Amino acid sequence: MSPKRIYNFNAGPAALPLSVLEEIQKEFLDFKGSGMSITEISHRSKWFDEVINEAVARTKRLFKLDDRYSVLFLQGGASMQFAMIPMNFLAEGRTADYVNTGTWSTKAIKEAKILGKKITVVASSEDRNFAYIPKNINYTAEATYVHITSNNTIKGTQWAQFPDTGNVPLIADMSSDIFSRPFDASRFGLIYAGAQKNMGPAGVCMVIIRDDLLKMVPDTLPTMLRYTTHTEKNSMFNTPPCFSIYTAQLVLKWLEETVGGLDKMAQINQQKADLIYGLLDSSTFYNGTADVDSRSRMNVTFRLPSEDLEKKFVAEAASNDMGGLKGHRSVGGCRASIYNATSLEAVAALVAFMKTFERNNA
Ligand SMILES: *Cc1c(COP(=O)(O)O)cnc(C)c1O
């Protein structure tokens, strides 16, 4: 009997491709003829070397990264990057711009301020509860970087196009939409993403960093908090989160070989988003919370006419084998996270359920 799998709309940790889970299961007791599982192997072994090098190579191919970029796998989550970025790049006299588009941006700004760094919040969508991505932003010409959150997991908004910041490098928290679409990576000085939304299990954060930024890293920082420590050691200054990196490698292999790359992935993600937003637009029962031009293709946030109906919706969905539809505890409402590994079939099933629920409860 095959195990029961539900339609998983969790925001993070989130769904992984079934074929990846099956591959892990298949090779778990004997990884590549080693007679050990991947969790029992030295990170200095040839087996693990191959895993991490493949993960880096696939990332570079998928994003068309040139030689100036290093791909790192660090611990501490995306949240650690909120502090590491200003620590590494904002020496005395330097400043950075931040765009505040929600809960995670707010946390990134807070960390820079705790460190006493000089930053400017050049735009914010807080005035309307972060329902949109600000436009026509004036960036500071002498800023060391501009920090944005490419997809706002909790508020359900996403940058459709990345801003033009001239010569100032962009830094983006892509935790919840990395590998969901192609983009021009050469405009970015640094990209980071906790793995547990769109590329693997919790426990690892991908950091893609361009070499010109490495020149700014002060040697007064603790060793583990310096980017150069990790670029010099291929993310293996200390023991890396081996299992998380291994799983991420399999997810990237699935993206390249099964899905067929980021263009294909973006097409599928667009189809999924169109299905569910199409329903929101044709209904007066469901109300999307994000402005139409700022909608996320990863996290669809919506309200029902009452909180009681929202509770009933989440409960009935669960009894129909659809999980993870409750909105973030800080905002309420409902949220369907439709990351790469959530299939078109899952979204179609959700939309069918939503139509039935509306008929029975409107
Ligand atoms: C989940 C999330 C984070 C936090 O990630 P951790 O790995 O738990 O620190 C940060 N930014 C965004 C956009 C997220 O979605």
pLDDT digits (tens, 9 = 90+) for 121-165: 999 999 999 999 999 999 999 999 999 999 999 999 999 999 999
Q: Could you identify the atom of ligand 1 that is nearest to the CA of residue 76?
A: 9
* Residue 336 alpha carbon to ligand 1 centre in Å: 17
Q: List CB contacts of 112: < 8 A, sequence separation 6 or more.
A: 82, 83, 85, 86, 90, 96, 98, 119
Task: Please work out whether the CB of residue 149 comes within 6 Å of at least one atom of ligand 1.
Answer: yes
Q: List CB contacts of 348: < 8 A, sequence separation 6 or more.
A: 275
Catalytic sites, residue numbers: 104, 173, 197
Task: Please work out whether the CB of residue 104 comes within 6 Å of at least one atom of ligand 1.
Answer: yes
Give the pLDDT score at 329.
Answer: 87
Q: What average pLDDT score do residues 324-347 get? A: 95
Name the residue at shortest CA distance from atom 2 of ligand 1: 175
Per-residue pLDDT band for 228 (boundaries 50, 70, 90) equals very high
Q: Give Cα 330 distance to the centre of its chain.
A: 19
Give the pLDDT score at 331.
Answer: 87
3-state per-residue secondary structure call for 83-103:
HHHHHHHCCCCCEEEEEECCH
Probe residue for ligand 1, chosen from 153, 178, 244 as the CB with the greatest number of ligand atoms within 8 Å: 153
The domain ranges of the chain are 21-259, 261-361
Q: Could you identify the atom of ligand 1 that is nearest to the CA of residue 77?
A: 7
One-letter identity of residue 139: Y
Probe residue for ligand 1, chosen from 73, 81, 84, 104 as the CB with the greatest number of ligand atoms within 8 Å: 104
Give the pLDDT score at 330.
Answer: 85
Could you list the beta-strand ranges (E) of the chain.
Answer: 7-8, 69-74, 95-100, 118-124, 146-149, 151-152, 157-158, 170-173, 188-194, 205-210, 287-288, 299-303, 322-323, 334-337
Q: What average pLDDT score do residues 284-295 get? A: 97
Q: What average pLDDT score do residues 190-202 get? A: 98
Name the residue at shortest CA distance from atom 8 of ligand 1: 77
Report the alpha-carbon distance of residue 64 to residue 66 in Å, rounded.
Answer: 7
Please, how many CA atoms are within 13 Å of residue 41, restricted to the half-sphere of its CB?
A: 23
Q: Give Cα 287 distance to the centre of its chain.
A: 25
Give the Å distances, CA to CA, from 3 to 18, 21, 22, 24, 347.
Answer: 11, 12, 11, 15, 21
Q: List CB contacts of 305: < 8 A, sequence separation 6 or more.
A: 285
Give the pLDDT score at 2.
Answer: 81
Task: Please work out whether the CB of residue 153 comes within 6 Å of at least one atom of ligand 1.
Answer: yes
Residue 269 reports pLDDT greater than 80:
yes
Tell me if the domain spanning 21-259 has CATH number 3.40.640.10.
yes
Largest interatomic CA distance in the chain:
64
Please, how many CA atoms are within 13 Å of residue 79, restricted to the half-sphere of its CB?
A: 7
Task: Please work out whether the CB of residue 156 comes within 6 Å of at least one atom of ligand 1.
Answer: no
Give the pLDDT score at 110.
Answer: 98
Give the pLDDT score at 318.
Answer: 97
Q: Could you identify the atom of ligand 1 that is nearest to the CA of residue 80?
A: 9
Probe residue for ligand 1, chosen from 73, 174, 175 as the CB with the greatest number of ligand atoms within 8 Å: 175
Q: What average pLDDT score do residues 182-198 get? A: 97
* Residue 185 alpha carbon to ligand 1 centre in Å: 20
Task: Please work out whether the CB of residue 77 comes within 6 Å of at least one atom of ligand 1.
Answer: yes
3-state SS class at 223: helix
Residue 202 reports pLDDT greater than 80:
yes
Place of tokens 């988003």: 273
Give the pLDDT score at 1.
Answer: 65
One-letter identity of residue 128: R
- Torsion on CA atoms 299, 357, 329, 112, rounded to nearest 10: 20
Q: What average pLDDT score do residues 214-232 get? A: 97
Q: What average pLDDT score do residues 183-200 get? A: 97
Q: What average pLDDT score do residues 355-359 get? A: 98
Choosing among 1.10.10.60, 3.65.10.10, 3.40.50.300, 3.90.1150.10, the CATH entry for 261-361 is: 3.90.1150.10
In tens, the pLDDT along 83-96 reads: 999 999 999 999 99
* Residue 107 alpha carbon to ligand 1 centre in Å: 10
Query: Which pTM was predicted?
Result: 0.97
98 and 105 in contact (C-beta within 8 Å)? yes
Name the residue at shortest CA distance from atom 1 of ligand 1: 175
* Residue 276 alpha carbon to ligand 1 centre in Å: 24
| Gap between the terminal Cα atoms of the chain | 39
Per-residue pLDDT band for 12 (boundaries 50, 70, 90) equals very high
Task: Please work out whether the CB of residue 12 comes within 6 Å of at least one atom of ligand 1.
Answer: yes
Residue 358 reports pLDDT greater than 70:
yes
Report the 10 Å Cβ neighbour count for 212: 10
Percent of the chain clearing pLDDT 70 (strictly above)? 100
pLDDT, mean over the chain: 97
| 284: β partners | none
63 and 188 in contact (C-beta within 8 Å)? no
Q: Which of 292, 281, 288 is nearest to 336 (CA)?
A: 288
One-letter identity of residue 318: A
